[in-house]
A and B are shown apart, each in its own frame.
Chain A
Amino acid sequence: MDFTLLLQQLLNGLSIGSVYAIFALGYTLIFSILGIINFAHGALFTLGAYFTYALMGERFGFNGLLANVALPVQLPFSIALILGSVLVGLVGVAIERIAFRPLRRRRADPLLTVVSSLGVALVIVNAIQYLVGSESYNFPVNTYGNLPVAINFGTADKPITIRTVQIVIFAVSVAIMGILTYCINYTKFGKAMKAVAEDPITANLLGIPTDFFIVITFFISSFLGGVAGTLVGSSVSIADPYFGIRYGLKGLAVIVLGGLGSIPGAVLGGLVIGLVEAFVPADYSAYKDAFAFGILFIMLLVRPQGLLGRRFVQKV
C-alpha cells in the first residue's frame, strides 16, 4: 500500500469514526449519570436533522401529512442548528418525564427503562414518517457558506481528500468531548452530577436536587444529539426517518469498546471502529459491521472494561 493511499484511508477512517463518536457521546452522558442506555437517542439524532431542515425554510415532500409544507421562516444554517437542537433538548426533557422518571420512581428494573426508551424511539420515528413521509431530504449545497466543499492534503496528482463537513464533525466531537470532560471534572455542576451518578438518594439528602440534574443531563445529551444529527445529515443527507436509529447499534459497540461511561472513551472507541472499517478491503465492505463487532468481541475478552473504562471493583 503506498503512502498516499495509507494517509487517505487514515483520513477516511477518522471521518467515519467521528460520526460514530459524535453519536456515542449522547449515549455516554446519560449512561454515566443514570447507568442506563437511552435508545431514544437515535430518534433524537434524526429529529435534530429534521428540525434544522424545517427551520431553514426547506420544503417537505409530497408523502406525509405536511406534504409540500415549508415554514415561513428561513434561518441561516447555524441559527437553525442551534434552535433545532434546543427543540430536540426539550423533547429529550419530555422523554425523561414520560419514559424514565415514572420508572425511576418505582425503582423498576433497568431493562424496563431500555424497553420504554425503545418504545419512545419508534413512536418518534413513526411520527416523523407520518408527518413528512419517508423520502430523503438534503440540506442546500451551500450549507457551509464559503468553506470549500473538500480539502486536499495531498498534491493535484496524488490527492488525499476529505470533505470539509467531515472535518467539522470531527472538530465538533472533539470539542464536545473537551467541554464535557472539563465540566464534569472541574466545575461544581459537574461534581454534583457525579454525586447524583454515584448515589442519587444520598445526593438528595446532601441538598443536591437530583431530579433537576437528571433533567439537565437529558437536555444536554439530547441537545448534543440534535447537533450531531444535523451535522451528519448535512454530510450524508437525511435518508429517511430511520436514519438515526441505524447508528444505534454501532453506538453501543463504540461505548463498550471505549469504556462504559467514559467520555474520551466514546470518542476514542468511535475513531477506532471507524479506522477498522476504513481498512476493510473494498471487496468485503459489505461485511464491515462484522469486522467492527469482531473487534468489540475480542476487546470484551481481552479487556472487558474497554479502552478507557475503569474496572468495577466489587466491595464485599
Chain B
Amino acid sequence: MKKSTFLGSALLLAFASLLSACNQTNSGPNATTTANPSAGAVSSNSIPIGIALAQTSNVALLGQEGIQGAKIAEKYFNDKGGINGTPIRLVVQDTGGEEAGAINAFQTLITQNQVVGIVGPTLSQQAFSAGPIAERAKVPVIGASNTAKGVPEIGDYVARVSAPVAIVAPNSIKAALKINPKIEKVAVFYAQNDAFSKSETETFQQTVKDQKLDLVTVQKFQTTDTDFQTQATNAINAKPDLIVISGLAADGGNLVRQLRELGYKGIIIGGNGFNTSNIFAVCKALCDGVLVAQAYSPEHPNEVNKVFRTTYVNQYKKEPPQFSAQAFTAVQVYVEALKALDQKSKVTAMPLPQLRTELNKQILAGKYDTPLGEIAFTPVGDVIQNDFYVAQLKVDKDGNNGKFAFLK
C-alpha cells in the first residue's frame, strides 16, 4: 500500500505548505520587545517614524493607499522644515495581511529601526495582536485604518485617527433611506473571520433596529471566500430592499457582483472595506451605485487638504482615497506633536524611551487641523472628528475604473 502512505504524507505536506504559503510574513528577526535603554537620542540628522502597513497579501491595496498618503506627508512636512529643522524619515515595514506579519513589523520597527512611534497596522484584526507589543515597549501607535470597537482601549500607547465604525457606518443607512424611503427589509452580510467586519456589522445591525427596519437575514462568510452562491441566493430569497455588507475589498466586491448577477436590484451598502478604488477591479460595472460611508472628503475646504489633494491627484491621477488621507493625518499628528515637544526640550537630545513616552502624552493633548478636518483625541486615544460623508460608487463607461461621488 505504498500509494496510501504516500498520499498521507502528501496531504500533510500540502497542508503545511498551504499554511505557510498563505501566511506571507516579512521575515523580521525574532527580536525581543525590550527597547535598549542605553540607546540614546534619535540621531540628530533625522527622526524615524515607523509605517507598519500591508504591502503584500489580500489587504496590500489598503496598505498601499496608506503608504502613499504617509509619503506625501513626509515630503510635505520636510519641505516645511520638519521638526524645527530636523527632517522626519519614514521607515516602512510590510505587515502582510496576517497577525504574525504585523507583530514582526512592529518588533522590527521598535527594536531595530528605533522609531519614535508607529503608524499602523492595516487591519483592526492585526491591531489587536500587534498593539500590545508596542504597549509593552512603551512606543506610541497611531492607527490610520483601524476602525473596530476596542482598538484605542488596547493600551495607553495606542491611539487612532480612523474614526470608529460605530460613528461612521450609520450614516450610510440613513443615506439609503433618503434615496429610497420605502426600504423595509434589510439583509446583512459580514465576514466572520475578521474582527473589524464583526465590529462593523454590530453597528449596522443596531442601526437597522434603531431605524425600525426589519432585519430579514444575516449571512456570514469568510474574507477568503470567493463563491457566494449559497449566501447570495439565501438573502435574495428573503426579498430584501437593502443589503449591507461588511467585508474587505476582494470578497466584498465579489459578493456585490454575484448578488447583482443573481438578480438583486435594490440598494447595496458597503462597509469601510469597500473604501478603496481597488473595488472597481473586482466588481467592475456591477459596483455602480454602492453606498459607502466616509470619514474623509477630498472636497474638505481647509488649506492642508487642498495641498494634500493637489499633490495626490498630480501623482496618481485620481482623487485621494480615505486611507491615504488618514495615513497623512497620522504622520501629521506625529510631526505636530514632535514640534510641540521640541519647543519644550530638544527631541534629538532626549533618550529614546523618554521621548516615546513624552511624545505619547503630547499626541493625546494636541488639536490638529488635518485633511480630515479638525481632530483631537479622547483620553483613551480615540479620534474626535466632526465631519462625516457618504459616497456612492460611480463606475466609468469602460467599467474598469470609477470614483467615489459624494452625496450632498
A interface residues (Cβ-Cβ under 8 A, vs B): 4-5, 8-9, 12, 15-16, 19, 35, 37, 39, 58-59, 61-63, 110-111, 114-115, 118, 121-122, 125, 129, 133-138, 140-141, 149-150, 152, 159, 161-163, 166, 235-237, 239-240, 242-243, 245-246, 248-249, 252, 256, 260, 277-278, 282-283, 285-286, 304, 312, 314
Also in contact, A239 and B226, with CB within 8 A (given A8-B237, A63-B64, A138-B283): yes
Also in contact, A286 and B220, with CB within 8 A (given A59-B400, A118-B13, A138-B282): yes
Stretch at the interface among B28-36, B70-78, B257-265: B257-265
Whether B17 pairs with A110 at a CB distance below 8 angstroms is: no
Most chain B beta carbons < 10 A, residue from A58, A129, A134: A134
The closest CB in chain A to the CB of B68 belongs to A62
Complex Cα distance, B55 from A134, in Å, reads: 9
Whether B21 pairs with A242 at a CB distance below 8 angstroms is: yes
Also in contact, A239 and B58, with CB within 8 A (given A138-B283, A149-B261, A286-B220): yes
Also in contact, A150 and B263, with CB within 8 A (given A138-B282, A249-B15): yes
Contact for A240 among B1, B236, B250, B399, CB less than 8 A: B250
Whether A285 pairs with B237 at a CB distance below 8 angstroms is: no
The closest CB in chain B to the CB of A305 belongs to B4
Complex Cα distance, B251 from A236, in Å, reads: 9
10 contacts between A and B (CB under 8 A): A39-B14, A110-B2, A135-B61, A138-B281, A236-B258, A240-B58, A252-B10, A277-B230, A282-B219, A285-B231
The closest CB in chain B to the CB of A314 belongs to B1
Chain A residues whose C-beta falls within 8 Å of the C-beta of B263 in the assembled complex: 150, 152, 159, 161
Instruction: Tell me if B378 counts as interface (CB < 8 A to partner A).
Output: no
Complex Cα distance, B4 from A237, in Å, reads: 35
Chain B residues whose C-beta falls within 8 Å of the C-beta of A137 in the assembled complex: 281
Chain B residues whose C-beta falls within 8 Å of the C-beta of A63 in the assembled complex: 60-61, 64
Whether B222 pairs with A138 at a CB distance below 8 angstroms is: no
The closest CB in chain B to the CB of A35 belongs to B3
B interface residues (Cβ-Cβ under 8 A, vs A): 1-4, 6-7, 9-11, 13-15, 17-18, 21-22, 56-58, 60-61, 64, 192-193, 219-222, 224, 226-227, 229-231, 233-234, 236-237, 249-250, 253-254, 257-258, 260-263, 278, 281-286, 399-400
Also in contact, A237 and B224, with CB within 8 A (given A12-B233, A150-B263): no
Whether B237 pairs with A249 at a CB distance below 8 angstroms is: no
CB distance from A199 to the nearest CB of B (A): 15
Whether B250 pairs with A239 at a CB distance below 8 angstroms is: yes
Chain B residues whose C-beta falls within 8 Å of the C-beta of A249 in the assembled complex: 11, 14-15, 18
Whether A122 pairs with B21 at a CB distance below 8 angstroms is: yes
Whether B10 pairs with A282 at a CB distance below 8 angstroms is: no
Whether B229 pairs with A166 at a CB distance below 8 angstroms is: yes
Chain A residues whose C-beta falls within 8 Å of the C-beta of B1 in the assembled complex: 312, 314
Chain B residues whose C-beta falls within 8 Å of the C-beta of A237 in the assembled complex: 226, 250, 253-254, 257, 282
CB distance from A52 to the nearest CB of B (A): 16
Also in contact, A136 and B15, with CB within 8 A (given A161-B263, A286-B192): no
Chain B residues whose C-beta falls within 8 Å of the C-beta of A135 in the assembled complex: 60-61, 278, 281
Q: With A5-B237, A12-B230 given, can you name 11 additional A-B contacts, CB distance below 8 Å? A: A39-B14, A58-B400, A62-B64, A111-B6, A111-B9, A114-B13, A135-B61, A136-B250, A149-B260, A236-B258, A239-B226
Chain B residues whose C-beta falls within 8 Å of the C-beta of A4 in the assembled complex: 237
Whether B58 pairs with A61 at a CB distance below 8 angstroms is: no
Whether A37 pairs with B283 at a CB distance below 8 angstroms is: no
Also in contact, A141 and B284, with CB within 8 A (given A282-B234, A283-B220, A312-B1): yes
Whether B229 pairs with A15 at a CB distance below 8 angstroms is: yes
Chain B residues whose C-beta falls within 8 Å of the C-beta of A39 in the assembled complex: 10, 14, 17
Whether B11 pairs with A252 at a CB distance below 8 angstroms is: yes
Also in contact, A125 and B21, with CB within 8 A (given A12-B230, A135-B281, A249-B14): yes
Chain A residues whose C-beta falls within 8 Å of the C-beta of B58 in the assembled complex: 134, 136, 239-240
Complex Cα distance, B158 from A60, in Å, reads: 37
Complex Cα distance, B250 from A141, in Å, reads: 16
Complex Cα distance, B10 from A61, in Å, reads: 35
Most chain B beta carbons < 10 A, residue from A16, A236, A245, A246: A236
Chain A residues whose C-beta falls within 8 Å of the C-beta of B224 in the assembled complex: 246
Also in contact, A16 and B230, with CB within 8 A (given A8-B237, A248-B18): yes
Chain A residues whose C-beta falls within 8 Å of the C-beta of B226 in the assembled complex: 236-237, 239, 243
Contact for B278 among A136, A283, A312, CB less than 8 A: A136
Chain B residues whose C-beta falls within 8 Å of the C-beta of A114 in the assembled complex: 6, 9-10, 13
Complex Cα distance, B21 from A59, in Å, reads: 26
Complex Cα distance, B232 from A278, in Å, reads: 12
Enumerate the 7 nearest inter-chain pairs by beta-carbon distance, A residue then B residue, closest first: A236-B226, A149-B261, A136-B250, A12-B230, A134-B60, A12-B229, A136-B282
Also in contact, A140 and B399, with CB within 8 A (given A236-B226, A240-B58, A256-B7): yes
Complex Cα distance, B24 from A245, in Å, reads: 14
The closest CB in chain A to the CB of B234 belongs to A282
Complex Cα distance, B230 from A197, in Å, reads: 40
Complex Cα distance, B279 from A237, in Å, reads: 12
Complex Cα distance, B9 from A162, in Å, reads: 38
The closest CB in chain A to the CB of B249 belongs to A136
Chain B residues whose C-beta falls within 8 Å of the C-beta of A9 in the assembled complex: 230
The closest CB in chain A to the CB of B226 belongs to A236
Chain A residues whose C-beta falls within 8 Å of the C-beta of B9 in the assembled complex: 111, 114
Chain B residues whose C-beta falls within 8 Å of the C-beta of A159 in the assembled complex: 233, 236-237, 263
Chain A residues whose C-beta falls within 8 Å of the C-beta of B282 in the assembled complex: 136, 138, 237
Most chain B beta carbons < 10 A, residue from A62, A110, A135, A277: A135
Whether A246 pairs with B230 at a CB distance below 8 angstroms is: no
Whether B15 pairs with A141 at a CB distance below 8 angstroms is: no
Contact for A163 among B6, B17, B230, B258, CB less than 8 A: B258
Complex Cα distance, B229 from A59, in Å, reads: 28
